[in-house]
Structure 1
């Protein structure tokens, strides 16, 4: 987890504009570098580093003596960097996992390079020899990237949108569209003699469910004829590759299936890999939280160094505005679910030396884990909804996971979004992946049944949304927010909200409260969120799982 920032072809004072890079300092607290490319006009690259691998030689922008005209800034982890080096006979000069990006680009071009990367990433390459800029982002957008390009050819790039505000002062500034870079894409820009950029190529190199070019990273002989064995093997491999780190790795633990399974595999694999420090697990909730009870049970079973953080309703309500600022979102369920993760990340940063945190994000989308999947009219409809959710993850749950942790200088890793696992899982018969016997994610649960990794009551624990699990049994977190918003938002304000905010108009006081805080920091940028996240096939006006009939049963 780092922060990247770049501008090309600016008519303004580039040095003055470089101050904007400091708006993402939280993403890389270990080191900072800003580089004006002096022999290349109107160009500047910035980088905030969170040092995870190769502390000595991992600073960016990265250049290699073999390719002195190529500059790389990237945020992410390339898990197959060693196998790439071996397969393509690269002469690596560092241990940095991103170095193969430069070698592959120089040899095979931008698109073929991106197709070979097994990992999560957002990168910007400046090729001064060929006067090109190349941008790319991983398939599910696990690592964030924003950009804009004006009609005059001013291109700006940043890990978070906040780092692009105030950069452009042309006559078209009001029409400026700061947009999230599309996941699974590579864009190539040509630069003129003044450094101005023109988009010349935009390619989708990997789609949801597509078998990646690096599929053979898990050899064919590793698969069996047993679907459950393959599911278990792929999830374990996904966790193992994400233990690549020179810094301490811990686990976010809610006590639900996804985070508990990841934590159990981290503990198991840490012994195999010779990790000597005790694995830390972290849980947060209000007094009486079901998540805290379940997480403690898991931690005791696994023997982890467990940290339990109690948050009060007052603390959580006070944290909402900072959470919205870091999220760059006003989506109702995203904000609700992010506050607990934001406060837990704060604790981890202040009280421990864990820097990399493993999490269960993505499992509900891949494996139809949301409670409303019980209402799917058919197996195909459930599959289509799963794919839709995965394609939009970068605007919702993936966004939440990245921003809530990055706000405190942590790096989140999400094994359930491993592309080898997701491509295999989505290729299975849709009927195999549906909820069965009233239990969602039945296939994944049964794949680990009898393994001893988790207690049965955890392995088969029904789904509970994170924003609900952190609550007490008597009063849910969303009800606490709604009661607070009754005091902060008048009915008159709510009645006029649709005319004030025509895009995604707020229909509740809570939604209006979130929207007002968002507009305070990011006025006119509501289009970043195309729609409010809501459960499908369910008649409800609120996204909380506690409003669904199946949950109450």
Structure 2
């Protein structure tokens, strides 16, 4: 987890523009570097580093002796870089996984490079010999990326929006909200550079779609006739890949199926690979929350070094403003669920030496785990909804996982969004993936049943939304928020707001409260969120699973 920033063709004072890079220092607390590119005026690359692999030689912008005309900044992990070295006979100057991007590009071009990467990434590659700039992002958008691109050649790139909002461009005539855009997952873009450092886009290619089987050389998994065995093998390998690190690895553990399954496999592999330390696990909730109780059972079963963080209603409410600043979102369910993850990340940073954390994000989208999937009219519609959620993940749950952890200089890894596991699971017959016998994710649960990996009460524990699982038994997190917000927003203010915020107009006081905080940090940028996350096939106007009949039962 790092932070990248780049600017090309700036008409403003370049030293002033470069001050914006310091707004993403949290993403890379270990080192910082900024480099102006020779012979390209008004252009520079900058990088904040969190050192996970090759602490000595992994600083960026990266160049190699073999290809000195290529500059690379990237945020991500390329899990198959050693397999690619063997396949193509590449000789690397460093032990960094990302260096492989330079060699792949030099061999076959940018689309060739992106198609061969098994991992998560957002990169900016500059080819000074051919006067080109390339941007690329992983298939699910696990690593964040934003850019400003104008017709007259101004290009700015950053891991987060906050690193772009103070830049001047287009002679001050353009609206910021219409210019700062998320870089689309699964795409690469090509820009031509002129002698003034201006970058004009010439091509955008979607190199990989969610659900498509990738064809790159990576860790082998043989497909057999037993679907459940295939699921086990693909997911086990997805977890194993993500243990690539020179820093201590831990797990977020809510006690639900997804995080418990990830943790069980990490613990098992840590013993097999002789990590030399116990896996630290972390759970959070208000006093007496169901997540804390379930996570404690999993930790005892797996014998982890477990940490419980209990937060008060006051601490949760106080954190909301910082959470919205870090998220760059005003989506209701994203914010509710992010507070606990933000507070637990703060604890990990301040109280432990764990830096890489594995988490269960992505499972509900891949395996139809949300409770509203019980109401799907048909298997086909359920699968279509699953794919839609996967394509939008980068704006919701994946965004939450990245920003709340990156805010505290941690790196989150999400094995459920592994290319091979996800493409296999999504390719299965629609009827197999639907909830069965009143239980969501039945196929995933049954694939790991009977192995002793987890207690049955955890393996078959019903789904709870993250923001619900952290709730106290006496007063829910939802109720805490509503009580606080009722004192901040009145009925008339809510009614008036619908004329002010025409895109995603607030329908509740909670929505308006979050929007006002968002606008304070990111004025007129409401378009960053295309819609509010809501359950489908439901009449509810609230995103919480608690409103669904199946949940109440």
State the TM-score, normalized to the length of structure 2. Answer: 0.99
Q: Deviations over 1:260-300 (max 9, x none)?
A: 00000000011122211110000000001000000000000
1:218 to partner: Cα distance: 4.4
Query: Which residue pairs with 1:23 in the alignment?
Result: 23
Query: Which residue pairs with 1:276 in the alignment?
Result: 276
CA distance in 2, matches of 1:218, 1:98: 17
State the TM-score, normalized to the length of structure 1. Answer: 0.99
CA distance in 2, matches of 1:115, 1:46: 25
Q: Deviations over 1:47-100 (max 9, x none)?
A: 000000000000000000111110000000000000001101001111100011
Within-5 A mapping of 1:92-491: 92-169=92-169, 170-174=171-175, 176-214=178-216, 217-219=218-220, 222-491=222-491
Q: Secondary structure at the match of 1:217?
A: coil
1:203 to partner: Cα distance: 0.2
**Is the deviation greater in 39-48 or in 82-91?**
39-48
CA distance in 2, matches of 1:109, 1:103: 10
1:224 to partner: Cα distance: 1.5
Contact 2:17 2:168 in 1 (8 A): no
Contact 2:210 2:423 in 1 (8 A): yes
Check if 1:65 corresponds to 2:65. Answer: yes
CA distance in 1, matches of 2:445, 2:476: 27
CA distance in 1, matches of 2:258, 2:326: 25
Q: Deviations over 1:155-190 (max 9, x none)?
A: 000000100011124142326510000000000000
1:219 to partner: Cα distance: 3.5
Q: Deviations over 1:397-437 (max 9, x none)?
A: 00000000000000000000001001100110010000001
Q: Deviations over 1:273-331 (max 9, x none)?
A: 22111100000000010000000000000000000000000000000000000000000
1:478 to partner: Cα distance: 1.5
Contact 2:152 2:200 in 1 (8 A): no
1:497 to partner: Cα distance: 1.2
CA distance in 2, matches of 1:178, 1:401: 21
Q: Deviations over 1:116-158 (max 9, x none)?
A: 0000000000111000000000000000000011232110000
Q: Deviations over 1:481-519 (max 9, x none)?
A: 111110000111001111010000001000000000000
CA distance in 2, matches of 1:88, 1:131: 26
Contact 2:53 2:246 in 1 (8 A): yes
Contact 2:80 2:219 in 1 (8 A): no
Q: Secondary structure at the match of 1:364?
A: helix
1:525 to partner: Cα distance: 0.3
* Count of aligned pairs between the two proteins: 551
Q: Deviations over 1:421-479 (max 9, x none)?
A: 01100110010000001100001100000111100000000000100000013322112
CA distance in 2, matches of 1:211, 1:230: 14
Contact 2:77 2:97 in 1 (8 A): yes
CA distance in 2, matches of 1:218, 1:74: 23
Stretches of structure 1 that go unaligned for 5 or more consecutive residues are none
CA distance in 2, matches of 1:273, 1:294: 27
CA distance in 2, matches of 1:352, 1:394: 28
Q: Deviations over 1:214-237 (max 9, x none)?
A: 2x53446x2221000000111100
Q: Deviations over 1:527-548 (max 9, x none)?
A: 0000000000011111011111
Segments ≥4 residues shifted beyond 3 Å: none
Q: Secondary structure at the match of 1:67?
A: coil
1:353 to partner: Cα distance: 0.3
CA distance in 2, matches of 1:472, 1:139: 37
Q: Secondary structure at the match of 1:147?
A: strand
Within-5 A mapping of 1:519-534: 519-534=519-534
CA distance in 2, matches of 1:21, 1:219: 40
Stretches of structure 2 that go unaligned for 5 or more consecutive residues are none
1:16 to partner: Cα distance: 1.6
Q: RMSD in angstroms over aligned alpha carbons?
A: 0.9
CA distance in 1, matches of 2:2, 2:58: 11
